[in-house]
Structures are given as structure tokens and as C-alpha cells.
Amino acid sequence: MSVPTETTTELPAELNSARVDVAPPPPAGDEVDRLTQEAVHKTPLKIGALSQGKAKWYLTRFRSMLPLIEEYEKKYKNRPDHDLRRQSLSLRYRAKAGEKLANLLPQAFGLVRESARRTLGMRHFDVQVLGGMALFHGCVAEMDTGEGKTLTATSPMYLHALKGKGCQLATVNDYLAARDAELMRPLYELLGMTVGVIQTDMSRPQRREAYACDIIYGTAKEFGFDFLRDRLVIRKMKQEKLDFLDGVGNAKKSEGGERPVQREPYYGLVDEADSILIDEARTPLIISAIGSEGEESIKATYNWAAEVVHQFEEDEHYDYDHEKKKIELTATGRQLVRAIPQPQEMDGVGLIDAYDYIEQAIKVSRDFLIDQHYVVLDDEIVIVDESTGRLAEGRKWRDGIHQSIEAKEGIEITVDTGQAARITVQDLFLRYKVLAGMTGTAMTSAHEFRKIYKSTVIRIPTNRPAQRKILADRVFATDEEKWSAIVEEIVEIHRVGRPILVGTRTIEKSELLSNLLNARGIEHQVLNAHHVASEAEIVADAGQRGKVTVATNMAGRGTDIKLEDGIAELGGLHVICTEIHDSARIDRQLVGRCGRQGDPGSTVTYLSLDDEILRTSYGPAAAKKMADKLRRGPVKHRASLFRKAQKKVERRHLRDRMVLLHHEKQRKKMQHELGQDPYLDTPN
């Protein structure tokens, strides 16, 4: 869904520095191999935007450093723990004294590798060390599922943390942030590093303490909201200072004093980088201000529009732009709006505003579907993130769309509030001096990472050769034929005992397939936004003999499906994609569930001429006309049609994100020239 959303939070009543680690002088270091050290010296701190050919050249250079890192690891192997900490303090001293971090890389990575072996019982594979070097230099590392991204992140985080400026790792939710921090904490603490975690329910003092640590885990949302709260605090501090200088005696500090909680952004590492930096790039983080006036009138107008929307017909009463998904009333439609009786509460609503409310209601009635774009949970509208299949709690559609959906579903309308502060996810991460990312699917968006974030995507090889079989796409004339064929394939493979993971695009489709499997007597489990509580248990069982799992995109990210003993001999996990998405990256995430760490596996994609990707790309009318024409002949060789449609949609979304970046730059430039704060003085 192309309509922008926003994530909002309330501004707390309490708005509340960093400690500096001092180390002794470093001990005498060891002599290092001249050629390898030369490679270290010639590699810049931040590689920047490179062509893929140049990126491969850097990967070769990284490989040349592996022997030196291993030499340092061997030297530390038999030393006591306190000696490792002494070496770490030495590196910290040298980093703060101004020595280039790239010069310290071999020694630092060797320390982290040995610390991981002692504290976690895990040793970084060579490919994880390569990934760490790419992340250190501000690249986006593409690493397959199961290759150990959590451990890979420790080396670059440690090395950058030596500067004492704080390093932040952004994950997709609070649970993963807390889990990864606790899992890696022993490794960091052995080397004298402090670890902090930012959680949604933390107070300002707790956040300040966490941000004062060397390594900070959290979510993009929390990092963004803390930045905005700090901007509000700084403005208030400046105003209080002016009030004091002007002799205004009633300006008082809040209890304990109001101070920012964050330090200046230095090194940021983003997990699932494509999801956060690209799919959510346009999502604004907003701190709400005082509610607007005339709530009863606004609520009455939304409800009125939802009640009468069924009277409006396409072409007669409104025109619909299928590419931009935009509604515009015709002259006949505007006449109908004027003719429909309005409740007394709408007396203060102007005619132009009434047109807007009707257009929003029409858009919601045709473009926003329950169990596809949103669910109703505890009398609230909760957005379903199509790229992850998960509930995007706290996020709302903008421009009155969310309120129109609430009216459509007959639940309490949450009236739009003003905004005290605002920043987009894209703008938030562009503030870091060095920004890196890791994900399983980045190569298809390499151009966008270079263009917007000046980051190079480097493909990290797998630790073991991949054995995944990608079978040819299967194309059908209608949805009915496609679903029938999918069920038959599930029945056939289920007989062999291989586990099967079936990916669906929406909650509705997952329930549809579940009903079809029940009709055939196939025992299965369903994973979608309605079954979040059972996610861990469902995923744990998905690799067991004979298990059939039907899932939305929830199974595509952050999920490591491990095979039961004996399953590899049967062929491993079989993944069925029932429909392609607007982005090929989402499809690749699902495919990546099979064939992890050299395991065997297979995947196949099913397509039909009724698929949504064709309607999204070409528009409903053109897609129907094309499908009717193609059904007159064989369709099994028409897979390229769907891939072309997908690329067209991807280009459209890329264009939207580039337009956003341009507008944000122009807006910030204009506000700076006017002496305004671009994060606090943004118009609603």
C-alpha cells in the first residue's frame, strides 16, 4: 500500500552526561605483516558509494587481512581474561588519542573473536569476519539466513565503540533488541565495554543511562523518538535561558533538570537494513501535540462519510487514478454530496471539506481491506506491514485515512492531533557519521543504497556451499487453478515426509489455503498476524518431519528454521511462494528460509493471471483485458510478464522515495534559511 503511514507517541511530562572512559597507556604492540598492514592503511574509514566491481575488489582486500586477524587471535588464546581486558583498554587509549581505527582493526577483531570463544562458546567464521569488516567501513552486508548476523555485528560495534562516542544497533522490535544485547553482553563486558538496551517502557533517566554505554541496542522507532524528545528539551532549555536573561522570574527547571539523553550520532548499524532503510524510509516518527478542537464535528463527519459512501459509483460520481490510487469527485459526485442530508454536528463543516471526507471514504472502501492491510484488535485499527506480515502497532495512516477506516469499521474515532516534532526514518539514519546495515536481501536495492545513503552493498559468501534448488515458476490462468495445484503439490510432498513452508501475501489468503488443506485432511499450522503469540512454537516445529506451515511474510524475516535429524536426506525444507510481492526482496526473504547453512532445500513460485501484482502494475482494467487475452492460449511460459510487472512497481516505489528525499532536503534547507528547526517547526 503506497499511502504513507506515521508512527506517533505521546510527549511525556518528564523530559530529563555521558561518562568518559579513561585508559592507561598502551603496552608495546607486536610487529605486523607489512603487506597486510599496507592493505589496512589504504582502506578508508567509510568506503562510500561504489560500483559492484569495486565492492568485490574491497572484499578481496578484506580477505587479505584474515591471516593477520587469526595471528592476533592465536596470541590471545592462552592469555588470562584480565590480559584481554588490558589489551582492550590499550586499543581504547590509542583510538581516543587519534589513531585511525582501520589501523586497529586486525587486533580488535582478533580480540573479539577470542572473547566470543571464551564467553559464548562461538568462534567467528571467516565469512563473519569479512561481514564485520564490511560493516565497519559503512557498507551494507548481504548475508544469507543462518549465517550469524548477530555475532557478525560484534566486531564492528566493538571497534567503533573504542572511540567512546557510543554505537547504536537498530533492530526491528524490542524483543530482538533485548535478546541480542543479553546474548552478546558477556563478550563485550570481557573486553571492558558497557552494554545498554532501549525499551519502549523505559523512563528518561533509564534511557540516559543506557545511551551513556559503549554499545546500545534498540529499535529505529525508539532512537527516533528519543532524538525528537531531545530536540524539544534543547529548545526548552534555550527558552528558559532567554527567559532568565530577560528577567522573567517564573521560568523554572523541571525536577532533576531537563537534559538530552542521547549523544551525537556516530556509528549506526541497522539490522534488516532493507526493511528499515528502504521499506520504512517514508514513515515519519511524530510526537503528538495538543489535540485539535471540534472533535465531535470531525467524528460526525467521518461517520457520515462512511455511511453514505456506498452511493458513489466509479466513473459516474468519481474518477480513480489506478497508478497513483487517487480519488477525485466528478461534477455529478459533488452534486450528490450536496444533496445528501447531513447531521446537525456537521453545521460547521465547509463544502470543500465534505468533498475531502467523501473522497477519503471512497478510497478506504476500495483500497484498504481488513485482514490484508489492517486488522481490528481490541477495538483499534492495527496496520499489517505487508513487507513483514507483522502488526505495525503504534503506526497510523496519515491524511485522515486511519480515521476513515475507524468509521468504516464502526469503532471509536481517534481524532488527528497536531505534531510537536517530526522526523522520517530515512532522515534519522542519514544523520549518522558512519551508517552500516545487514540483511539477507540487499543486492536488488544496491542502487538505492548508493544513491540515498552513499552505502555500498557487499555480498558476503556463505560459510558452506548452498544446496538450495530453485524450481521453475508455475503459471496458471485463474486463481482457482493455482490454489488447486498448490494443494496437490502439498499433498504429494507431505507423503514423503518433507516439511513444507507455504508463503501467502495476506492474512486472508493464508486462511483460504488453510480451509483448502482442512478439506483434504492435511494437518497444518498457520502463522499470521492473528497468531503472533504462537510464533516461536510454530517456527520451532516448522522443520520437523511432515510439518506443513502456512504463513504470511512473518516467516520471511528473523526466522531460522532448523531441520530435524534425517530431513536433509529427504531433500530438506520445501518452500512454496503462492504469489509474488511488490518487491522481489520480500520474495527472496521467504526463499531464504530453506537451504540454510548448506542444508538442502527447494523452492517454487506459483503465479496466476488474477494475481494482485498485475493489477498494481498495470491497473485493474488493463490487467483484466490482458488476462482475458492471454487465457485464449497457453500461459505456462508467461512468468516473465509477472517479473516485469514487479520491476515496474519497484521503480515506482523507488521514484516515490527519491521524491521524498528531494522534498525533505528542500524543506530543511528552506527552514534553516528561515531560522527554523526542521524537526520541530514542520507544518502538519
**Maximum distance among all alpha carbons in the chain?**
88
- Alpha-helical regions (H) of 394-478: 401-409, 425-429, 446-453
For the chain, percent of residues with pLDDT exceeding 90: 53
Whether the CB-CB separation of 213 and 195 falls below 8 Å is answered with: yes
Cα 171 to Cα 270: distance, rounded to the nearest angstrom: 6
| pLDDT at res. 557 | 64
Whether the CB-CB separation of 127 and 175 falls below 8 Å is answered with: no
Average pLDDT over every residue of 198-210: 93
Query: What is the phi/psi pair of residue 479, to 5°?
Result: -60, -40
Q: Is the pLDDT of residue 33 over 70?
A: no
C-alpha cell at 192: 571492558
Does 611 fall in a domain?
A: yes
Question: Could you tell me if 510 and 473 lie in one domain?
Answer: yes
Q: Is the pLDDT of residue 25 over 50?
A: no
| pLDDT at res. 5 | 64
Listed residue (369, 361, 348, 234) closest to 298, CA to CA: 348
Query: What is the phi/psi pair of residue 423, to 5°?
Result: -155, 145
pLDDT band at 210; cut points 50, 70, 90: very high
Average pLDDT over every residue of 193-216: 95
Question: Could you tell me if 281 and 306 lie in one domain?
Answer: no
CA distances from 586 to 368, 375, 439, 445, 473 (A): 21, 21, 12, 12, 16
Whether the CB-CB separation of 295 and 194 falls below 8 Å is answered with: no
Strand partners, 321: 326
Which residue range(s) make up the domain with 405?
293-415
Number of domain units in the chain: 3
SS3 628: helix
Expressed in angstroms, the distance from the first to the final Cα of the chain is 22
Q: Is the pLDDT of residue 1 over 60?
A: no
C-alpha cell at 68: 593477520
Long-range own/partner contacts, residues 197-201 (CB < 8 A, 24 or more apart) = 198/222, 198/223, 198/226, 199/174, 200/174
Cα 8 to Cα 415: distance, rounded to the nearest angstrom: 13
Average pLDDT over every residue of 402-410: 92
Most confident of 54-63, 136-145, 651-660: 136-145
Percentages (nearest 5) of helix, strand, coil residues in the chain: 50, 15, 35
| pLDDT at res. 253 | 45
| pLDDT at res. 257 | 58
Which position has the higher pLDDT, 156 or 657?
156
Of 84-88, 309-313, 415-419, 677-681, the poorest mean pLDDT is in 415-419
Question: Could you tell me if 564 and 602 lie in one domain?
Answer: yes
Cα 511 to Cα 276: distance, rounded to the nearest angstrom: 28
Of 17-21, 141-145, 263-267, 308-312, the poorest mean pLDDT is in 17-21
Does 571 fall in a domain?
A: yes
Q: Is the pLDDT of residue 67 over 70?
A: yes
Which position has the higher pLDDT, 251 or 474?
474
Q: Is the pLDDT of residue 227 over 60?
A: yes
Does 245 fall in a domain?
A: yes
Whether the CB-CB separation of 160 and 266 falls below 8 Å is answered with: yes
- Taking the CA atoms of 623, 626, 629 and 633 in sequence, report the sign of the dihedral they define: negative
For the chain, percent of residues with pLDDT exceeding 70: 87
Listed residue (392, 372, 391, 389) closest to 551, CA to CA: 389
Question: Could you tell me if 337 and 237 lie in one domain?
Answer: no
Of 27-36, 77-86, 276-285, the poorest mean pLDDT is in 27-36
- Taking the CA atoms of 364, 365, 367 and 369 in sequence, report the sign of the dihedral they define: positive
Pick left, alpha or beta for residue 157 (phi over 0 → left; psi -120 to 50 → alpha; otherwise beta): alpha
Of 305-319, 552-566, 630-644, the poorest mean pLDDT is in 552-566
Question: Could you tell me if 448 and 518 lie in one domain?
Answer: no
| pLDDT at res. 326 | 86
Question: Could you tell me if 198 and 142 lie in one domain?
Answer: yes
Which CATH number characterizes residue 206's domain? 3.40.50.300
AA identity, residue 117: R
Does 682 fall in a domain?
A: no
Question: Could you tell me if 173 and 111 lie in one domain?
Answer: yes
Provide the 8-state DSSP code for 658: H
Which position has the higher pLDDT, 130 or 371?
130
| pLDDT at res. 499 | 95
Does 486 fall in a domain?
A: yes
Q: Is the pLDDT of residue 404 over 70?
A: yes
Of 176-180, 266-270, 392-396, 509-513, the poorest mean pLDDT is in 392-396
Cα 637 to Cα 232: distance, rounded to the nearest angstrom: 58
Strand partners, 457: 140
Q: Is the pLDDT of residue 614 over 60?
A: yes
Does 74 fall in a domain?
A: yes
| pLDDT at res. 28 | 40
The mean pLDDT of the chain is: 85
| pLDDT at res. 29 | 42
Question: Could you tell me if 325 and 274 lie in one domain?
Answer: no
Give the model confidence (pLDDT) of 362-376 as tens digits. 999 998 988 888 888
SS3 64: helix
| pLDDT at res. 23 | 34
| pLDDT at res. 156 | 98
Q: Is 217 exposed, middle or buried (0-12, 13-18, 19+ CB in 10 A)?
A: buried
Q: Is the pLDDT of residue 20 over 90?
A: no
Does 679 fall in a domain?
A: no
Q: Is the pLDDT of residue 294 over 90?
A: no
AA identity, residue 566: G
The set of residues, in sequence order, having a beta carbon less than 8 Å from that of 167 and lying 6+ positions away, is 157, 160, 161, 214, 215, 216, 266, 267, 268, 269
Provide the 8-state DSSP code for 563: P
Question: Could you tell me if 254 and 351 lie in one domain?
Answer: no
Does 667 fall in a domain?
A: no
Question: Could you tell me if 399 and 473 lie in one domain?
Answer: no
SS3 16: coil
Question: Could you tell me if 526 and 587 lie in one domain?
Answer: yes
Question: Could you tell me if 249 and 368 lie in one domain?
Answer: no
Cα 545 to Cα 683: distance, rounded to the nearest angstrom: 57
| pLDDT at res. 386 | 74
